[in-house]
Amino acid sequence: MPVSVGAPRQLLRRLREVMAERESAQARLDKVVVLIASNMVAEVCSLYLQRRDGSFELFATEGLNPESVHNTHLKSGEGLVGLIAEQAEPMQFPDAQRHPAFSYRPETGEEIYHSFVGVPILRGGHTIGVLTVQNRTKRQYSDEEIEALQTTAMVLAETIASGGLVSEEVSAEQRRELAMRFPGLPISEGVALGHVVLHEPRIVVTRLIAEDIELERRRLAQAIEDLTGSIDSMMERGDMARAGEHREVLEAFRMFAHDHGWRRRLDEALLTGLTAEAAVQRVRNDTRARMLRMPDPHARDRLHDIDDLSNRLLRLLSGGVATAATGSLPQDAIVIARTMGPAELLDYDRQRLRGLVLEEGGAASHVAIVARALGIAALTQVKGVLEAVEPGDAAIVDAEGGELHVRPTQEVVSAYADKVRFRARRQAQYAALRTVPSVTLDGERVALHINAGLLFDLPHLDQSGAVGIGLFRTELQFMISATFPRLEQQTRLYKAILDAAGDRPVVFRSLDVGGDKVLPYFRAAKEENPAIGWRAIRMALDRPALFRTQIRALLRAAAGRELRIMLPMIADVSELKAARALVDREVTILKRHGRPEPKSLMVGAMIEVPALLWQLDRVLPLADFASVGSNDLMQFLFAADRGNMRVSERFDPLNPAGLKALKLIVEAAKKHEVPLTLCGEMAGKPLEAMTLIGLGFRSISMAPASVGPVKAMILSLDAGNLGRRIEELLECTDTSLREDLKRFAAEQGVQI
């Protein structure tokens, strides 16, 4: 006899009553299967749960032999239960025993039953159990009956996951998985041991069964309207930088949010008697289960969008839940996120933050820059980690070896604890070099500067022993601000930087935004190739009011002191002339108003566009100093986007082509007697920094944590010997010099 329309809701109400009873876990499970069997007019209802080894154990039954409970086990993929678990979809068999996958268990006494229907119990799209119903007669179960079973399974999944329907011991085993290891791309060196914190905490759905279906429909409709409205609004404003969003992600959100099929499935789930939150969770689980089993990798990639969209909707339904930064953090937080903007990372308590793990993002992203400034171990490109972790899981971020360990074994924890102690001893050795001049064995002095971008970077000047700030990225202030910083705000920041630096030089790079550095409050058209698009000096010259405001703030902040301004992405000598003219105009206005001037003003050019290599004799005489931006110069030289993991590893900066370009710049700067520095990733790695010194660089700028290792290398290096060796290698090597230079360092005892 088919189930009546009202039966699913009646069943859910009875389930809620059972869950609220103060009885043992087994007693409640026994009542659950009796309820389901009665509601389905079935002679058998059985509940199988997956164990840690992947097998399925019979946990409760109404109709089968009671002695078979906890004694009947099916291996992964075995029997009809295993088949349903693998396919993660409902299946029914009018004559189950004749099916090839049927696995007879004599202890159950099920030989007298023929018809069989089973539905997976899904959590996050993965099967954690199977709910089955059997009858003696050979019959076909209706769609309504299967739908009722699926809804019940969803409620059971959420309750089991929270430990509400099984014993504490079994619940813990359900949640605990084997230790896992994920490869990743280091973006900030270090090793961190701690516990997982999800940047966007998962919403735990506790209210599963609806009291008022129409009320739940209205709540869901309003949440969907708010969701689609916010996405549409962000798209219209071009608000791509907020929360680390990218246009393609928002496009995917909008596509799913407006999808009629998705909305229809949500409505159908509501009609079975679920709350709005439970309906969202039900549809998410079913969709994930289906997509996880699709052979098309592009379809599986959309899992992120399903999760993000569902989480956004659940947050709206629950009244809006902020990121973990606003909550209570453990003392050793390892924050895990799909992606993140620099402002969001700065929201976290730096005393408690130990590590950062991202599923997406490049090594040169701005959150990576902030992570390095904070001195926390960080990895990106850690695919699939959000699906595998739970808040509170033990984790180890190895941002030296490029690995994340989740729920590590005690042996792994011990090994990394030793590594952390060794690293601490090594850092203590570097700290001892803080006041030691960075001079090579043959007397060549190399000035070591740090890169900075925010006020909290300044203590690193003293801690590292650097001689100054070789690159202050002024754009970070703009990127973490909700509105464009006004003249007074900019002036205060620049003055605070100069005050903290004292008599040490600070090089302020003028605003380098545009392209991939999108400001949340700045409307800009989408570009096919943002890295070589409308950005940096190009934007400054096209929007001179923005540039002049910043120059005015810098001039006011530097009253009576030395001011160094560096102009980014100069591609033609005319751009340098035009920018200098704007600077000179602001100096004239300053004098006219009788305001105090800087004691001295130096305007420099960044050499990062390859076209400038053939204009050095015209550009350098117009510059008071020059700085090589090695990150952009190398990606432009090799036509390889440094943020694209597919191509960024295809070239080595120690390739002779790149090194010859750098040598050309060194020789031109020497010819025109222009001070030269290099700031970029190359400067912060001992082997690459050694190579730069061999090419003739005597001033380099790097992340604060790199100063110690680079100084240790310099103190053990004979620069003359290295220079001669590089000359030879550049003449005879047609590929990377990396291995040759490693051999040189080993032979000469250079500490790299």
Which residues are part of the catalytic machinery? 366, 679
448 within 8 A of 710, measured Cβ to Cβ = yes
Q: State whether the Cα torsion 579-581-586-591 is positive or negative.
A: positive
165: phi then psi, degrees, rounded to nearest 5:
-130, 0
Which strands sit side by side in the sheet containing 353-358, from one edge to the other? Answer: 180-183, 403-406, 394-398, 191-198, 333-337, 353-358, 377-380, 185-188
394-398/403-406 β-pairing: antiparallel
- Please give the single-letter amino acid code of residue 530: P
Token pair in block for residue 617: 């004799």
> How far are the Cα atoms of 694, 707, 730, 738, 740 from residue 733, in angstroms, in the given order?
16, 30, 6, 11, 9
Token pair in block for residue 11: 């069943």
Q: Give the closest residue to 531 by CA, choosing from 657, 652, 683, 635.
A: 635
Rg (CA), the chain: 32
491: phi then psi, degrees, rounded to nearest 5:
-60, -45
Token pair in block for residue 440: 């090579």
DSSP H or E run through 491 = helix 487-501
27: number of CA atoms within 13 Å, CB side?
7
What is the full DSSP assignment across 287-352?
Answer: HHHHHHT-S-HHHHHTHHHHHHHHHHHHHHHTT----GGGSPPPTTEEEEES---HHHHHTS-TTT
Inter-axis angle of helices 686-695 and 738-748, to 10 degrees?
90
669 within 8 A of 415, measured Cβ to Cβ = no
Residues in CB range of 350: below 8 A, 6 or more apart: 374, 456
DSSP H or E run through 132 = strand 126-135
Rounded distance between C-alpha atoms, residue 354 and residue 190, angstroms? 9
